[in-house]
Amino acid sequence: MAITTVWQLDMEEVRRMIAEILTLPDERVFDANNMQDVSELDYFVTVLNSHQLDIGTEIKFNGKDEEEIISTLKEVNISINAYGKNSYQLLCKLTQSMRSTSVWQRLKRMGMGYLRCSEIRSLPTAIDGGEEQRAEVDLIFSINSIIKANVKCGKTVNFKLIRG
């Protein structure tokens, strides 16, 4: 049985989009699951696909190609954390930009739809005798992940009856 991913969420492209919206270099927007040394950085942003909720699934059967096409609508929660000076304002800019036409068009090309965001949380932290500004927001998107699976079907069946 062969299962092929047709479309899934591309977190690298999500990070690139966030860097562009915030006019930050790509190397300042990190995957939160794959952190790099940030000790020399005065500001940076992390992005985490924190959870996905299945909303519904549609399964279609293509008899000609003997395959199932499984399409699952999901609600995806992506957590964005900003660290350093003006982190709260940075996330305000991000959330205000999410409904702009250019972002909407980019999301559409990525196979995503923007639904809503959480409140922006200011989370200042004491570090090295001072205070580091931190802020966090969750962006909620809809995606439609699609996989294909080969399904062998029998078109004809021969029976041999034995009389006993």
Q: Does domain 2-150 have CATH number 3.30.2000?
A: yes
pLDDT confidence band for 123 (50 / 70 / 90)? confident
Q: Where along the chain do its domains lie?
A: 2-150
**DSSP assignment letter at 49:** E
Gap between the Cα atoms of 164 and 149, Å rounded: 42
Compute the C-alpha angle 98/104/106, nearest 5°. Answer: 110
At residue 103, the pLDDT reads: 96
For 94, residues 6+ apart whose C-beta sits below 8 A from its C-beta are 18, 21, 22, 80, 137, 139
Mean pLDDT of 115-142: 88
Higher pLDDT, residue 100 or 64: 100
Gap between the Cα atoms of 46 and 27, Å rounded: 11
Both structure tokens of 10? 């591309």
